Amino acid sequence: MKSGTSSKNNRAAASGKASGSSGTSSDSQITGQQADKEAISSTSPSYLQKFFTDQLKDIYYAEKALLNGLEEMKSAVSTEELQDAFETHRQQTERHVKRLEQVFRLIKQEPEAKPCAAMDGLLKEARNIISETEEGSFTRDAALIIAAQKVEHYEIATYGGLVQLAVTMDMRRAADILDKTLQEEEDTDQQLTHIAESYINIEAEHEGGYSWDKQAIGAGSVTL
């Protein structure tokens, strides 16, 4: 289930090259000197700098959209441990938004969200699961864990790539900040795997009243 191989490598690269320089907390204030050093020109950025900024805008939109998505998923599930996990990650996601704003400030760009079709699609999938499963069922909880993990994997891929790009462009402070979020995304993914495998998947397997079956029988086809 875990897919963090490449992102772990990215994190190793970031901590080796980026963290070693300052050793400061990623949530601390950005100094003017740091911002000057890692600023991206708004008039003549390199292609890679432009792509980096573009990806920041993508994940900025995605994180904001996810705030609502996690709230909806938390309200839809019935297992307390899963509700707590979604709430904890919603609070982390608020910090992820703030960290992205830090990175925008660091590179001297205005925080800007660019619509992310991938996150919109993943959240639509989660909403479909909510409408297709029975309230209070373990099946719904098991399915929403997978939906949430798809979101985490998207974030892991994005942050893993951004950390690596920041390291490549010698933007050490930006790499540190993004790496902190990357680690939280990976931890969340692992925690969701643990919750699913410890009991929710097993309970779901033995559950009656499987709403997808009912819908499939009624519609005469399976639309998964």
Closer of 139 and 153 to Fe ion (Cβ): 153
Closer of 40 and 59 to Fe ion (Cβ): 59
Shortest distance in whole angstroms from residue 10 CB to Fe ion: 15
Q: What are the residues whose beta carbons fall under 8 Å from the beta carbon of 182, sequence distance 6 or more?
A: 7, 10, 11, 156, 159, 160, 163
Q: What are phi and psi of 134, to 5 degrees?
A: -80, 135
Closer of 139 and 148 to Fe ion (Cβ): 148
Closer of 96 and 137 to Fe ion (Cβ): 96
Closer of 57 and 96 to Fe ion (Cβ): 96
Using CB positions, name the residue nearest to Fe ion: 96
Whole-angstrom distance, CA of residue 97 vs CA of residue 172: 19
At 185, the amino acid letter reads E
Rounded to a whole number of angstroms, the distance between the first and last alpha carbons of the chain is 20
In angstroms, what is the C-alpha Rg of the chain?
Answer: 20
Whole-angstrom distance, CA of residue 39 vs CA of residue 46: 12
Q: Which residue shows structure tokens 């619509």?
A: 115
Mark out the alpha helices in the chain (DSSP H runs).
5-14, 20-22, 32-38, 47-76, 80-106, 117-132, 138-168, 172-195, 201-205, 211-219
Shortest distance in whole angstroms from residue 36 CB to Fe ion: 28
Shortest distance in whole angstroms from residue 150 CB to Fe ion: 11
Closer of 187 and 203 to Fe ion (Cβ): 187
Closer of 139 and 189 to Fe ion (Cβ): 189
Shortest distance in whole angstroms from residue 159 CB to Fe ion: 8
CA-to-CA dists, residue 44 to 48, 133, 147, 181, angstroms: 11, 51, 40, 29
Shortest distance in whole angstroms from residue 155 CB to Fe ion: 5
Shortest distance in whole angstroms from residue 219 CB to Fe ion: 33
Q: Which residues lie near Fe ion (CB under 5 A)?
A: 63, 93, 96, 155, 185
Shortest distance in whole angstroms from residue 80 CB to Fe ion: 20
